[in-house]
């Protein structure tokens, strides 16, 4: 972990850079989204929101991950009193793209990209399952698909049919394409 030197009334302290950025309302979502990373991100968001430090910036470079964990982060961002800006600094793929869409302002570095697609079963093993058990899983997956499509549709202004068509397969957007499609607002120019 990187540290920075900070002069305090007690002298010079070594402070983790993540802590220094947190005090400036800047946090990172990097790596896979799972219950642990989602909870850690939500705790940071709670801390910043309680401090009422102004706009929060979330920098995202993530391959995505577990849907319910990602939706928990999305939902928490939507109820925050602080305005949230999301910045794609590499890949915002899958559930990371959904979290990216939670920002009131959504910006991308020029060479970053967003991936949206339908949810998948992932590594779920259906061997030994009865047809009605498999159907229940498919029905549940389709409900998740509807939820994600509604989020994308709301944020982009595109129809649900358009979203279902484009998410049927993996679809990558460059920064310019994401802005044109309505996923992002503009290119990030720095703070």
Q: What residue segments make up the domains of the chain, in order of their start?
A: 3-187
pLDDT of residue 191: 66
Cα distance between residue 45 and residue 77, in whole Å: 8
- Selecting among 25, 62, 69, 94, the annotated active-site residue is 94
Cα distance between residue 167 and residue 190, in whole Å: 31
Q: Are the C-beta atoms of residues 27 and 41 closer than 8 Å to each other?
A: yes
**Is there a catalytic annotation at residue 132?**
no
Secondary structure (3-state) at 22: helix
**Is there a catalytic annotation at residue 117?**
yes
- Selecting among 112, 117, 132, 171, the annotated active-site residue is 117
Cα distance between residue 176 and residue 34, in whole Å: 29
Q: Tell which residue, 59, 39, 57, has the closest CA to residue 48.
A: 57
Is residue 148 over pLDDT 80?
Answer: yes
Secondary structure (3-state) at 101: helix
Mean pLDDT along residues 145-155: 97
Predicted TM-score of the model (pTM): 0.90
pLDDT of residue 87: 98
Task: Say which residue the tokens 């602080």 belong to.
Answer: 82
State whether CATH 3.40.50.720 applies to domain 3-187. no
């Amino acid at each position: 972990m990187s540290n920075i030197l900070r002069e305090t009334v007690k002298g010079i302290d070594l402070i983790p850079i993540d802590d220094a950025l947190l005090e400036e309302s800047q946090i990172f979502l990097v790596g896979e989204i799972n219950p642990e990373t989602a909870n850690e991100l939500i705790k940071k968001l709670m801390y910043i929101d309680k401090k009422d430090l102004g706009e929060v910036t979330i920098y995202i470079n993530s391959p995505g991950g577990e849907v319910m964990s990602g939706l928990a982060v999305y939902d928490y961002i939507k109820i925050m009193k602080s305005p949230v800006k999301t910045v794609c600094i590499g890949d915002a793929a899958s559930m990371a793209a959904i979290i990216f869409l939670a920002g009131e302002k959504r910006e991308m570095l020029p060479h970053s990209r967003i991936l949206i697609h339908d949810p998948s079963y992932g590594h779920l093993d259906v061997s030994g399952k009865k047809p009605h058990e498999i159907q229940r899983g498919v029905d549940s997956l389709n409900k998740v698909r509807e939820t994600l499509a509604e989020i994308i549709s709301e944020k982009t202004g595109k129809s649900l049919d358009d979203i279902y068509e484009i998410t049927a397969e993996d679809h990558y957007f460059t920064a310019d394409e994401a802005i044109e499609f309505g996923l992002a607002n503009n290119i990030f120019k720095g703070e």
